[in-house]
Structure formats: structure tokens, C-alpha cells
Structure 1
Amino acid sequence: MDLVGLLKENEIKHPKLEKKLENYKSDDFSEIYLFFDYDIKKIDEYNKDNLETQNEKIKEMLEFFNNETANGKLYINYPMVESIRYFRKGLPDEDYYTYTTNLFVGRKFKEDTNNFSHYKNLDFITSKDENQQSNWRHIINLNIKKANYICSGLNELPSEKNSINQQAIFENQLSKYVYSKNEISILNSFPLFLYEYFPIDYFN
């Protein structure tokens, strides 16, 4: 699959899109990463896709986009990218691993984040806590631990990085939250992406 070519075609079809890839070809990119939101559509009489069908499509995408040097690698935010600041207390928010939201929250999650988050914008990411510890490091640590909690039930750094890969997180979200509780465990994938590129001791 020529993902770069596909994206270029999409830019051509939609005049409002900036043609950022116009002067590039597939060989110009050694790695490709995709960041998607787990935005499940509510099932009603007008929606023919049921929950299982939507999740099956996501599963297929995770299986296909599983290598950054080949087809590209997919990362999923639960439920969406705004999870990067869903902390109800100042960092480090040790209750973060418990935070969930309704499965069909949709765009309302943006409003919920504004209402519930201790931080009202993204400026906090580059700041430090009262002990002069980097907030970004807290964000990475908390999301890694939470991914491990979702997969293993342990709110701690995993012993092996691969134990919290994207497929494992997705499958455990389905079994422990989506199908049993109609919930999603809030999680951001950008810290998990960084986690794969740094030694585990960096996040202690």
C-alpha cells in the first residue's frame, strides 16, 4: 500500500487541504505514524454499523498498520486527542488510571475535558510541578502506567514494553470497558509512542 500516494490523492481531491505532500514521494519517508481517535458512533436506528462491526474495522487497521517502516504504524487515543490534558488534579494526578468516560461520548469529550481538567490549555505540558519535575515526564509516566493497568490490572511501569502494544491495549479496552461497562478508559497515545523510543529508565 502506497500510503503517501493515497494521502497525496486526497489532497488533490479536496481543494481546501494544503498540498504539503505535493513535492514528496514515498521513498522520501523512512517511517510513517498514524494517530487516530477511538470515536465510536452511537448505535441507533439510523446507524447500520453495530458496535462489533466498528471495532472489527479498527482491529483490522491495527493489524495492517503495525510497522512504521512498511505500511505505517497506528496509535489510538481513547477516546480522542484531548485526553492529553484530562487530569482532574495537578500533576502528578495519581488517580489518572481510574478515569473513564462513556463509550459514546463523542465530541462532548472536548467539553468534558474543559470542565473537568485541572489544566485549561496545553501550556502546562512544558511547565514543571511544584517540585520542579517536568510535567511532560509525568504525562508520559501516567499514561504508560495506565496502559499497563488496562492490560494487566497493575498501575505501574510494565516489565516489558511490548506488553502494552496497541493491539493489547485495544483488546483489553474492549473486554474490560467497552463491552462490559459501555465505557472507555481514557488514554493518550503520544506518550506511548515516545515510550517505544526511549529506555524504560528514562521514565522512572
Structure 2
Amino acid sequence: MNPKSNILCIFEGEKREVQYFKTLKNIYFSELSILVCSYGNDIYELFKELKEDVDLDIIELLRESKNVPENEKILEGYERDDFSQVFLFFDIECQDEQFNTDNLLSLIDIFSEETDNGKVFISYPMIEAIRDIPTYEEYLSHKVTVENCTGKKYKSLSVNGLQKFNDPRHNNKADWNQLVKINVEKGNYISLGTKGEFTKIPEQKEIAVKQIISISEENNIFVLSSYPLFVFHQKPSYFSF
């Protein structure tokens, strides 16, 4: 068996999410041992499984996944106690028929601490938010309508901004530092309503509450990427914006 990993990162999908994460891992976390696997379904299916079994172990859930049979091999020999930190990365899926605000907030409460059940980071509206940057200045207030949050529509719209971010796999450290900066400021702008806040890590629950209000009142959602917030959460002292 491979040496125990101290961090487990769980992604909604198996391809693009993992590819993007590999790049930021090489830039910021090359010294750490991080095990990566996928859930293979959306955040509301995860909540459904947890609701059916409140004592369900996330490692066992992943290991027994029929959607991602590779997890059995990836997690062979591992138990929850083998990981000091667990992180989950999901899309909000606000256009999905299963979208449920109560379930979303409940799941964020369940996954609020990386050393316990795990900590979830949510992309709004989906993983492609990381490349949806009109300009640095416009990004702070940049939103997308719920109707345009479907996979096909949003994936097409998300490449209309700054071209250098169209494929984060090829972005360098300076580019990623910029992504961290603008997403930290935007996360705080969404949750606190203030501009120019770069030192505080925006809370996932506070962001979700404000996003739900925006969906309900304006039928749109602030574009926000989860990966840069994860980087800042792990290494806040690394940045001096």
C-alpha cells in the first residue's frame, strides 16, 4: 500500500475538476501528499445519501460508489483516520431540478470542518467559473442568470472573458495568485457587501446564503470559483494582497 496521505480531496466529476486541481497542487502544494478521488454525482445526491444514513462514513461511501468504481482501488487500505483533512468540491447546480436551498445549507453545515466530516467548497454556478472573468474590474459584480447556468450554456459563456484563463491547466503561478486575489475579494463582497477585503477567508455558509437570496430575488447568481478560496484557506500567510 502507498504511504498514508494526510489530505483527501473529493471532486464532483472525474475529469476537468481533477485536471484543474492538479495544476494548483503543483504550484501551491507540491510538498504535500494529497489523495484525489471523485464522487461521480452532484451535491444533492450526496445529501440524499447522507440523509438516509446520518452515520455514513464518507470514505466508505466513496469506496462503494457504483459511479466511480476506481475509488475502490484508490482508497484501498485507507480509513477516515488516515486523513488529517478532507475537502469536497462541488457545483451549486442551481438550475437542476433537485436544487434545494435547505439541503444545500444543511450539507454545508455537515461539511464545515476539514478535520471532522470534511469541508466543502462550492463553485457558482459550476467548475467553469474559474475561467469566467470578463475583466478584473468587472469580475467583482459579475453574475449569470439561472437560465444560463445549464452545463451547455454556461460552458460556452464562460470562455468569453479574459482569454488567458480559458484553460487554467496552463496558467502560471502569477495567474493563479491573481485568481486567488479576485476570488477572495469577491467571496467577501458577496457575503459581507464590502470591497477590497483580501485578508479574511469568506465563509461558505455566508456565501451560500447570499447566493440563495440573489437567486430568489433576481434570478441570477454571482460567479465564484472554489479552488482559489481553497488555496487561500490553506495558505493565507502565503499572500500579501
**Which interval holds the TM-score relative to the shorter structure?**
0.7 to 0.9
Aligned letter for 2:221?
I
Once the 2 structures are TM-superposed, how far is the Cα of residue 154 of structure 1 from its aligned partner? 1.7
Partner of 1:9: 64
Distance in structure 2 (CA, Å) of the matches to 1:33 and 1:15: 18
Q: CA deviation at 1:40?
A: 1.9
Match of 2:157 among 88, 112, 119: 112
Which residue of 178, 191, 194 corresponds with 2:228? 191
Structure 1 gap segments, 5+ residues each: 128-133
- CA distance in 1 between counterparts of 2:236 and 2:159 reads 33
1:84 to 110, 130, 134: 130
Distance 2:85 2:78 in 1: 14
The equivalent of 1:57 in structure 2 is: 103
Q: Give aligned pairs, total.
A: 182
- Give the letter for the 2:206 counterpart: A
Q: Is the 8 A contact 1:86 1:116 kept in 2?
A: yes
For 1:38, the equivalent position in structure 2 comes to 92
2:39 equivalent in structure 1: none
CA contact (8 A) 2:181 2:198 kept: no
Scaled by the length of structure 2, the TM-score of the pair is: 0.68
Deviations 1:120-141 (A, max 9, x none): 32255216xxxxxx11111101
Give the equivalent residue in structure 2 for 1:150: 190
Aligned to 2:207: 169
- Report Cα offsets for 1:34-73 as digits up to 9, x if no partner: 010011235xxxx5x5x6xx11111110011111111111
Larger gyration radius, structure 1 or structure 2: 1
TM-score, normalised with respect to structure 1:
0.80
Change (3 A) 1:137 1:159: closer
Point out where structure 2 has 5 or more consecutive residues left out of the alignment: 1-55
1:109 to 1:186, Cα distance in 2 relative to 1, 3 A: same
